[in-house]
Amino acid sequence: MTYSEATEYLFTSAPLFQNIGAGAYKEGLSNTEALDAHHGHPHRKYLTIHVAGTNGKGSTSHTLAAILQSAGYRVGLYTSPHLVDFRERIRVNGEMIPEERVVRFVEEERGFFEPLHPSFFELATALAFKYFEEAGVDIAVIETGLGGRLDCTNIIRPILSIITNISFDHVQFLGNTLPAIAREKAGIIKPGIPVVVGETGGNAEVREVFATKALETRSPICFADEAEHPHRETQLKGFCQEKNTSTILSALEFLKERLDLSDSAIDRGFMNVCELTGLMGRWQILKSKPLTVCDTGHNVGGWEYLSKQLEETPGKLHIVIGMVGDKDVRKVVSMLPKRARYYFTQASVARAMPVGDFAEIAREFGLDGKSYDNVMQAYSEASRNATAEDSIFIGGSTFVVADLLANTL
């Protein structure tokens, strides 16, 4: 079996949320617990940090991993979704899991896991936890997939739990109010384990959900948006990174009680996160003339920051954009800059909203643009129209960015 055959097997034999959405969601931890027992509970062999939240999980997880690597630790990093290669999800000190290990996992383990009918994410999590043990990591940063309480990563007992923020996303699974979503995310809070909450958006009910849960579990809790931190320079330049940085700095105060983290290691991690961990798609500058940027922000919470940032880009603004149909599309579209020229498109996943439907909604909100069948057609046209003094933005969906990077890297 080749690597491409192994990943094709994983993508097609197990329900993949990235492609089909709700049909891939499996509630409960029974499959995960069975896979974990089969592999000998590998996550118990190293320390872990657990990261949940609506937005900012990826940036926070990668930055923490970069800081830990800079401090001399051997660090596992498990994130999702991937943009170009499945192996992006599972890294040790920034290096992706070898293709051969993915192949061997499918070949050797399919006889055990096929009768369980696991989801793709359950299999990926099992592989990540086992690989981190084999690679001898000291600590692993584990990002939840969806929610927290019933997320299959929630079998771990971390040294720190982090909940970056709460916004509306995946409401069909997590609830249609912010307190309801917060209760699902709060499910990662473990008895006696410290928890950092990045931001509550000034919502007293959301704050109460976390405070109550922490009281019940006797977990020390810090609300990062209520703490004072000095300004810190970081490699990641998106407007949202100020909030993420505050969350990380609060997390580091707890981590310093267990780990040796010097100021110089923290500085190196913040300033070299992309090189150390392979992070992509967070206000990623692809070209300087014209300024060409992609970002995976895909929901209301993400666009609260992106809309402001796009207003400050130079020249005429060209936006290549598509979304998936299970997001709050109208709310996001209402936040898009009116001054831009739009190139409406759709990503190459089944969940993508058809470009015609998306363009129709965009025009309801007075956005000017044309439709293109795929991301590269839209990007090519934007590049042709933009002058060196203009700006091009590509986003609206993680999968739009994935299609772009897959064809340009």
Domain residues for 184?
3-277
pLDDT, tens digit (0-9, with 9 covering 90-100), for 193-243: 999 999 987 899 999 999 999 999 999 999 999 999 988 999 998 888 999
Same domain, 154 and 67: yes
As a whole number of angstroms, the distance between CA 216 and CA 192 comes to 10
Same domain, 40 and 114: yes
pLDDT, tens digit (0-9, with 9 covering 90-100), for 104-123: 999 999 999 999 989 899 99
pLDDT at 16: 55
As a whole number of angstroms, the distance between CA 117 and CA 307 comes to 41
291-294 β-sheet, strand order: 284-288, 291-294, 391-395, 317-321, 341-344, 368-371
Same domain, 288 and 269: no
Kindly give, in sequence order, each residue whose CB lies less than 8 Å from that of residue 49, ignoring residues fewer than 6 positions away.
64, 139, 140, 141, 142, 158, 159, 160, 161, 162, 251, 255
Tokens describing residue 7: 């990943």
Question: How many domains in the chain?
Answer: 2
Taking a C-beta distance cutoff of 8 angstroms, is the pair 394, 343 a contact?
no
Taking a C-beta distance cutoff of 8 angstroms, is the pair 328, 404 a contact?
no
Same domain, 315 and 262: no
pLDDT, tens digit (0-9, with 9 covering 90-100), for 304-328: 999 999 999 999 999 999 999 877 8
pLDDT at 106: 97
CA nearest neighbour of 294 among 399, 172, 179: 399
Same domain, 241 and 382: no
As a whole number of angstroms, the distance between CA 245 and CA 260 comes to 19
Final residue before a domain boundary, out of 253, 277, 301: 277
pLDDT in single tens digits along all 409 residues of the chain: 999 999 999 988 876 544 544 444 556 799 999 999 999 999 999 999 999 998 899 999 999 999 999 999 999 999 999 999 999 999 999 999 999 999 999 999 999 999 998 989 999 999 999 999 999 999 999 999 987 898 999 999 999 999 999 876 544 456 578 899 999 999 999 999 999 999 987 899 999 999 999 999 999 999 999 999 988 999 998 888 999 999 999 999 999 999 999 999 999 999 999 999 999 999 999 999 999 999 999 888 889 999 999 999 999 999 999 999 877 899 999 999 999 999 999 999 988 999 999 999 999 999 989 999 999 999 999 999 999 999 999 999 999 999 999 999 7
Final residue before a domain boundary, out of 250, 277, 304: 277
Same domain, 312 and 263: no
Same domain, 307 and 235: no
What secondary structure, in 3-state letters, does the chain show?
A: CCHHHHHHHHHHHCCCHHHHHHHHCCCCCHHHHHHHHHCCCHHHHCEEEEEECCCCHHHHHHHHHHHHHHCCCCEEEECCCCCCCHHHHEEECCEECCHHHHHHHHHHHHHHHHHHCCCHHHHHHHHHHHHHHHCCCCEEEEECCCCCCCCHHHHCCCCEEEECCCCCCCHHHHCCCHHHHHHHHHHHCCCCCCEEECCCCCCHHHHHHHHHHHHHHCCCEEEHHHCCCCCCCCCCCCCCHHHHHHHHHHHHHHHCCCCCCCHHHHHHHHHCHHHHHCCCCCCEEEEECCEEEECCCCCHHHHHHHHHHHCCCCCCEEEEECCECCCCHHHHHHCCCCCCEEEECCCCCCCECCHHHHHHHHHHCCCEEEECCCHHHHHHHHHHHCCCCCEEEEECCHHHHHHHHHHHC
Give the CATH number for residue 390: 3.90.190.20
160-163 β-sheet, strand order: 95-96, 90-92, 75-78, 139-143, 47-52, 160-163, 195-197, 221-223
Taking a C-beta distance cutoff of 8 angstroms, is the pair 15, 24 a contact?
yes
Give the CATH number for residue 219: 3.40.1190.10
Alpha carbon 263 to its chain's center: 26
As a whole number of angstroms, the distance between CA 91 and CA 64 comes to 13
Same domain, 194 and 248: yes
As a whole number of angstroms, the distance between CA 31 and CA 69 comes to 32
pLDDT at 189: 97
pLDDT at 20: 43
Same domain, 68 and 209: yes
CB atoms within 10 A of CB 263: 7
Same domain, 316 and 272: no
Same domain, 154 and 230: yes
Same domain, 310 and 381: yes
As a whole number of angstroms, the distance between CA 26 and CA 248 comes to 30
Specify the length of the chain in residues.
409
Tokens describing residue 167: 């916004």
Final residue before a domain boundary, out of 220, 250, 277: 277
Q: Give pTM, 2 decimals.
A: 0.93
